[in-house]
Amino acid sequence: PRSTLFPYTTLFRSRLRADWRVNDWLLVYASYAYFEDGSVPTSPLTFHDPYGGAEIRWNQGASHFFPSGGYRLEWDDAMHTEHQHIGHLEWDGTQVLPHGLSIETQGQILIRREPLLLVPPWTEGNAYVALKWTPFLVATLGYEWTTMQSNAATHNYFNGALQWNITTSTSVRAFAGGTRGGLKCISGVCRVFPPFTGARLELVLRL
């Protein structure tokens, strides 16, 4: 649908997805999204975002592996040139084990190019693996990286975390290591995070 959010600002969005249930343990899908963003009148953008993936399940659905990937193109309609492109690969997997244990992994790889930055194309991403004892403990090891040319001395970041869920609404989490800066998406919310190296202790209380 087309909607006017501000005077002289118009956004248009559309998305199409097709799913195919191959059998009880495999579903594959393909999707295409199209966006128009006129929030900057002097530089209106058009987005093309095709992607696809699969949902693979076993152990009566308790274990799974969800790979996906696609290519996002952002086109500058005023300059008639590429604004940005991002190729992306993602995965999410869980293997259940006895006694309430499971091994889980999540990750994302981005292949990026932004001509306005005047730097060569680069890759960045993150890969995490965790041992979970439901619902009490989660131990996580992570690796994040970027190959973008910059003044930063570090392009590889390793980290580890241990989380203790005291109750369903209270937890303590200890983190040590580093994380790369840049745009990251967590639970569907995307924002720019600064790089971090060090240690921190987090306490979450929900009343």
Share of the chain above pLDDT 90, in %: 56
Mean pLDDT, range 112-127, rounded to an integer: 87
pLDDT tens-digit series, residues 55-110:
999 999 999 999 999 999 888 888 888 888 899 999 999 999 999 999 999 999 99
Mean pLDDT, range 9-17, rounded to an integer: 72
> What integer pLDDT is reported at residue 2 of this predicted model?
36
Compute the distance between CA of residue 135 and CA of residue 207 in angstroms, rounded to an integer.
19
For the ranges 66-80, 141-155, 192-206, the lowest mean pLDDT is seen at 141-155
Angle at 85 (CA atoms; ends 80, 91), nearest 5 degrees:
155
> What integer pLDDT is reported at residue 62 of this predicted model?
94
Exposure string for 57-83, b = 16+ CB within 10 A, e = fewer: beeeeebbebebebebebbbeeeeeeb
